[in-house]
Structure 1
């Protein structure tokens, strides 16, 4: 077996490959043209972020069986193209958790005690103890946005400095917060109560510029900001303005909106208030060893006919069987995504019930797809058959499956019950004519909604004028209604409406809808 190592990784990983009698080529200087020419010779490739494995390159990879990313991000790999060619793609998430947490603490301490600035001054011959007077961490409030692996480790370390630690993560149950000694609070409370705010979330539509001009305005004066997660989680131009205005007294950033960081960026003119480093969160000897060893071991497993521990695209069934359940896989992912955008409360348990024809099939890929739709908005790793249960377990979510051949109204039905600390929510969907997907139940209200495109989901009192007012506001604001489904139990009681619209609504439009007398809730869902 031949493996190409095309980016710099630790010798520890290369040694494992050689110890397993793998023929290793280490070449980090390949040009794009050379990569196109050489890739077909190899059974596997181990890389980091510099090697581009796009569709063109992979089209030449006739013998490639595995792509192992030594690290977590995989923007440089065309996973879909690899899947079409039957190439297993894997990554090594979690191997640099401690390094990223320690980098956060290093920056927090440096920011508090002005260490980089004082060091720079002293190297220039300036001795000034008063200018670089710092503050203690002891007794300060640390607000953590994202209490996953890294956020949890930061919390533990901050507690050792006698900090009060609060956190916001809607996908983490209260029990995990209690185990860490962390108070789980709203995002608004994080902004208003924290002396320090640190971000530990993946980059998603929800977390892009999660800290911007509006958020800085809500913070208390003298707050300090840290980011060792994803550069675009912070609007850094707004951060620079908040520092100039005195709202934010300091910031420490290991990641940046564009990397390398533009030398003209306004933050670089604020060296007395800002610490920057060139994305070193996972760059330690130990972390580099860990990701290299993990990538090598998983690559060997695949080459020997086994499964990787953290795959990004492993097929789960024979093609014929997968084709048979494909519509249900699509439906399940949409049910999960629908809930992620519509549901509220910290998830404790997921109950998935399969009724009718689908209950006769192997449903593990269907459950996986549902978890993917539900959890992917908060993860930077792919959810799949191998890791879905582990990821849910890490977040304290109990997942149960049940099957029944009994049929009520539908020949097949997937029902999702989500148990949260506030109660239980239910969604159900079915597949008509092998490919027509429908959501047919929302909290026991019968609907017949196509899970596609932009949806508005409202809960309201069933009384005259509600729907008319709803439509009038949307019309006045230039939003076209494509379809509408209404579910109710009793005349004059509560009702649920699912409305398909042709364009997104603004915050102002949503506020108008919520001000309609009788409207309890309006949620936007994009599928």
Structure 2
């Protein structure tokens, strides 16, 4: 039975959902990396917040781990590439803390504009120094938003009533969406050079790490103020210190840091009198904590119990519909089939082609399923899933392609899988009748047989007496023939026989059949997909 480990604090509502599922749950927050490695060996799911670091060492120790659930948005505390390589699904809760993060951003900007934290500290020291803490209004100022997504958009909605002019940088946001919330999209350089207040709302990626460094600070207005409630590392902290210490900009408000808690080297930032700080509180509201816990608990249970994937950051893009879902087992069986027919030869290229109605549909999951079937023969059945299928194929030098055509065939929906192995091409075609995967063509030989179970393919020079010879060998070996079909192809003097048999055929028997017909024989054993 599946088991769930919760290694960071989770709200009661979230824990209640996990426990009500009937799946055993263990709550052990605050573990060190070594302690986590010892504990996680037999767990299928790991639920974390920002405190747990899921490193390569932890992933290697997790022998059964299938899913990592992050109660929150940021997943830079998880080694995503390595988890993906190991076929581990990573899910987060991208919408649960949007409002809390947006409100905290607004609070940070207002606190910075009116020097609230500094005035508060001064009063608690018994001072009354009004002139020292004179602030600025937001009215009429330019707000620059770097990342006008879900949080950035909510910040814009909340600060627009302050009569601020909104400019934003987001290469992925359609102009019409930005227009609706009153943000004029422009370049990053214009945002940096024109904004009086700036707020960052991008994920931490290789392309965004140190996005704001000394070069960008020197481009800003002297009265500019910068808020970061996104992720630590987007702003270079050493350069932030220089920019504030030397008054290159007027101030900053930060909720997130490169290291949490701060290292001794980072604590020099706390000496600055123009930096508002909070210890990563963007999502720390009662409401957000409940939402992220409930969302990740529901997602984990759905995946473990029903195989339903929600809010996964490393699952293949694409969606299944009632029309495409029946073709998933077919695609996987086709990939598995074609790998077995080439044996242990390296595969250079794999192309999945869609005909008929499938050519007009989202077929990404079908392609990934075909690749999953293919790599079963490379990494084993237990090591292949839709999470790691494409990365594993890439690591093995397999160039995966997908194409679609409206070329007419005899079937309303058809999938073709072609591979190139050791310079030799191989191709199969399949479709679905009812819910049954069917093989309709193999290397130019037309059939219409179930694509399942134990299958034997015999190629020979088209002549009489072959069926009897094959039957004799199988009969002597105690192998019953359940279904048989024979096909020829134009321009060839060879025929191919496909037999569905009742049990596994040993390689010795396969070789005996090939010798008996003076041709070739291959046995394929397909799992129940």
Range class of TM-score, shorter chain: 0.5 to 0.7
SS for the counterpart of 1:107 is helix
Segments of 5+ residues of structure 1 without an aligned counterpart are: 333-352, 370-383, 387-400, 408-430, 437-527
Per the alignment, in what secondary structure is the counterpart of residue 192 of structure 1?
helix
Aligned to 2:134: 133
Distance 1:265 1:80, change over 3 A: closer
SS of aligned partner of 1:239: helix
Partner of 2:293: 292
1:186 Cα offset (Å) = 1.9
Query: Which residue of structure 1 lines up, in the alignment, with residue 364 of structure 2?
Result: 364
Aligned 1:150-161 pairs, distance under 5 A: 150-161=151-162
Secondary structure at the aligned position of 2:68 is classed as strand
| SS of corresponding position for 1:131 | helix
Change (3 A) 1:20 1:78: same
CA contact (8 A) 1:237 1:266 kept: no
TM-score, with normalisation over the residues of structure 2? Answer: 0.60
Q: Would the alpha carbon gap of residues 14 and 405 (structure 1) be closer, same or farther in structure 2, given more than 3 Å must change?
A: same
Hey, what's the Cα distance between the residues in 1 that align with 2:110 and 2:130? 17
Contact 1:252 1:274 (C-alpha < 8 Å) held by counterparts? yes
Residue pair 2:245, 2:272 contacting (<8 A) in 1 also: no
8 A contact 1:328–1:366 mirrored in 2 = no
Shift of 1:3: 2.1
Taking the aligned partners of 2:71 and 2:201, their CA distance within structure 1 comes to 20
Root-mean-square deviation (CA, aligned residues, Å) is 3.8
Kindly indicate whether the alpha-carbon contact (under 8 Å) linking 1:236 and 1:267 is maintained by their aligned counterparts in 2.
no
> CA distance change for structure 1 residues 272 and 30 in 2, over 3 Å: closer, same or farther?
closer
- Secondary structure class of the residue paired with 1:238: helix
Contact 1:166 1:182 in 2 (8 A): yes
Q: Which residue of structure 1 lines up, in the alignment, with residue 501 of structure 2?
A: none
Deviation of the 1:39 alpha carbon:
2.5
Q: Which residue of 2 aligns with 1:235?
A: 236
- SS of residue paired to 1:231: coil
Q: How far 1:218 moved relative to its partner?
A: 2.1
Structure 2 counterpart of 1:196: 197
- Cα deviations by residue, 1:63-98 (Å, 9 ceiling, x for unpaired): 444332222333444455555665433222222111
Match of 1:349 in 2: none
3-state DSSP class of the match of 2:312?
coil
2:160 is paired with a residue whose SS is: helix
Residue 291 of structure 1: CA displacement? 1.2
Question: How far off its partner does 1:146 sit?
Answer: 0.8
8 Å CA contact retained: 2:112, 2:276? yes
Q: Does residue 122 of structure 1 match 2:118?
A: no
1:215 — aligned with what? Answer: 216
C-alpha displacement of 1:114: 0.4
Q: CA deviation at 1:189?
A: 1.7
> Taking structure 1 as the reference length, what is the TM-score of the superposition?
0.60
| d(CA) in 2 for partners of 1:402, 1:432 | 13
Q: Is it true that 1:164 corresponds to 2:165 in the alignment?
A: yes
* 2:8–2:52 Cα contact (<8 Å) kept: yes
8 Å Cα contact 2:349/2:419 also seen in 1: no
The equivalent of 1:24 in structure 2 is: 25
Q: Secondary structure at the match of 1:170?
A: coil
Instruction: Count matched residues.
Output: 363
Q: CA deviation at 1:209?
A: 2.0
Distance 1:199 1:354, change over 3 A: farther
CA shift for structure 1 position 272? 2.2
Residues 130 and 37 of structure 1: is their aligned pair in 2 closer, same or farther, counting only changes over 3 Å?
closer
Q: CA deviation at 1:203?
A: 1.9
- Structure 2 residue runs of 5 or longer lacking an equivalent are 319-327, 340-346, 370-384, 388-401, 409-417, 424-529
Q: How far apart, CA to CA, are the structure 2 residues paired with 1:231 and 1:27?
A: 26
Query: Which residue is equivalent to 1:518?
Result: none
Q: Which residue of 1 aligns with 2:16?
A: 15
Task: Give the 3 Å change call, closer, same or farther, for CA 25–173 of structure 1 in structure 2.
Answer: same
Q: Distance in 1 between matches of 2:76 and 2:261?
A: 16
Shift of the 20–244 alpha-carbon distance from structure 1 to 2, 3 Å rule, reads: closer
CA distance in 2, matches of 1:22, 1:133: 57
User: SS state of the match for residue 127, structure 1?
Assistant: coil
SS class of match (1:211): coil
